[in-house]
Amino acid sequence: MRNLLQALQWLLEMVFWAVAGTIVLALLAFFFHLGMGSFFGVLAPFFALFVLLSAARVQGRGRRRRALLLVGYVEQALRLNLPLPRMLEAAARGERGATSDRLNEVKAAVATGWDVSDALAENVPELAWRETEQLKSAERLGRLPAAMARLRERLRRRTQQTWGDPMLGMSYGVVVVLFMVMVLGFLTALILPKLIEVFEDFDTQLPWVTQLTFDAAQKSGWVLLILGVGSTAALAGYGLWVLVQGVTGRRPLFAGLWDGIAWRLPLLGRVVRSRAWSDGCMMVGEGLRSGLSLHEAAAEAGNGGINATAKRRFMRWSDLLASGEPAGSAAAEAGLPGVMAGMVGSVERVSEPAEVFAFLEGYYADRGGARASLLRASVMPTIVVVLGLVTGWIVLSMFLPLVRLIEAVMPYTEVM
């Protein structure tokens, strides 16, 4: 019942922001239309969407930088063993605006007895829920300074990430895709039927390329138009939401379902799996450093906010270890990767078992980072190639009928 109410609330919020974003987009498009003239005015909605998404991107990056600054102050105080409330109060006096307010809020929460992880989760909404869960686990283990240092480095890398062009990010690519979808939908749903009527008047057959396009248009032309309009409204709502409220790190509805889907995706799934194994190994290593046994550390990794599929496997591994099964065979039976299963078999024979998991953490982090970089770098070229092929096909479908129509009209012109 609770999930149903949350789903209903999420749906109502999504509809509200989509409607509000559409209204804002229409107003922006109207003003751009006045300034661009009637010829270029048809591009006003897409230009307005580009401006809205670009502004949301700039605002989002500003909030991420503020989160990085807040986490940096807390990490520095913990690393230097300084009194945290006094450190945050001094930092708040040196900052201005929202950054100062957030520092005061975190300081007040810690001063009243909140855990540091809970104070950050409540007052720094830019942190992802998995990150706050890992902070809570690290605080339970007494390893919070190390976890804060890792979080600070992760936020720094995230702040520096760009998609596509460094200045425009993905906003340009998204707007171009929507523009092409709507243009193709318009051509296939409205233009091609008229062209077919002209050919029927001249008793001429359409080229096979155009006929194939028309057959596809009869099934998907209006779908493309509706999809383009709906996506534009959704993106406008998302951009307005980021500008006004900002992205929050609350746990999404049906997180386990989304984790399972992401785990099995062809390309993105490899990044998700590497990230989950890296985080799980990190939590096991931190548990071993804090004095836990291997099966207790594995159970703590399952409670550290990692992917739900990886969580079940770590919990299964913990149960097998608790029953007395050797670490290596238990890891293989629990479904952990072969590299991990092979290396954890030697944990019981080394003096520093936590170092084994530190190596595995770095190994999977490097693999996931390389795959994520490759995936990010391939997004824009893939969009360009796909749209180029589709556009070329549509242009060919429109050009070849004109050539055939000219050939059909030529005998009448010779007689005249």
Q: Of the ranges 119-123, 216-220, 383-387, 395-399, which is most confident?
A: 119-123
Q: Determine, yes or no, domain membership for 22.
A: yes
- Percent of the chain predicted with pLDDT > 70: 83
Q: Determine, yes or no, domain membership for 392.
A: no
Q: Determine, yes or no, domain membership for 70.
A: yes
CB burial class (10 A; 0-12, 13-18, 19+) of residue 215? exposed
Mean pLDDT across the stretch 328-348?
85
Note whether 154 and 301 are same-domain residues: no
pLDDT of 170 above 80: no
Range of the domain at 276: 255-372
Mean pLDDT across the stretch 222-249?
76
Is 340 within 8 Å of 360 (Cβ atoms)? yes
Q: Determine, yes or no, domain membership for 411.
A: no
Note whether 130 and 11 are same-domain residues: yes
Note whether 262 and 138 are same-domain residues: no
Q: Mean pLDDT over all residues of the chain?
A: 81
Mean pLDDT across the stretch 390-413?
76
Domain finish residue from 160, 192, 219: 160
Between the alpha carbon of residue 296 and those of residues 95, 131, 289, 353, the distances in Å are: 42, 21, 12, 14
Lowest mean pLDDT: which of 92-101, 144-153, 220-229?
220-229
Note whether 274 and 142 are same-domain residues: no
Note whether 261 and 365 are same-domain residues: yes
Domain finish residue from 131, 160, 189: 160
Rounded Cα distance, 392 and 186, in Å: 16
What's the pLDDT tens digit per position in 340-377? 888 887 776 777 888 889 899 999 999 988 888 888 77
- Percent of the chain predicted with pLDDT > 90: 15
Rounded Cα distance, 136 and 130, in Å: 10
Q: Determine, yes or no, domain membership for 72.
A: yes
Q: Determine, yes or no, domain membership for 231.
A: no
What's the pLDDT tens digit per position in 196-223? 777 777 777 778 887 787 777 667 766 7
Note whether 147 and 280 are same-domain residues: no
Note whether 151 and 28 are same-domain residues: yes
**Beta partners for residue 169, in sequence order:** 165
pLDDT for 49: 79
Note whether 11 and 129 are same-domain residues: yes
Domain finish residue from 160, 176, 195: 160
pLDDT for 114: 92
Q: Determine, yes or no, domain membership for 92.
A: yes
Contacts of 337 (CB under 8 A, 6+ apart): 277
Note whether 150 and 267 are same-domain residues: no
Q: In terms of Cα–Cα distance, which of 188, 207, 189 is closest to 402?
A: 207
* pLDDT-based confidence at residue 45 (cuts at 50, 70, 90): confident
Q: Determine, yes or no, domain membership for 342.
A: yes
pLDDT for 276: 92
Higher model confidence: residue 164 or residue 119? 119
Higher model confidence: residue 147 or residue 42? 147
Instruction: Give me the number of domains the chain comprises.
Output: 2
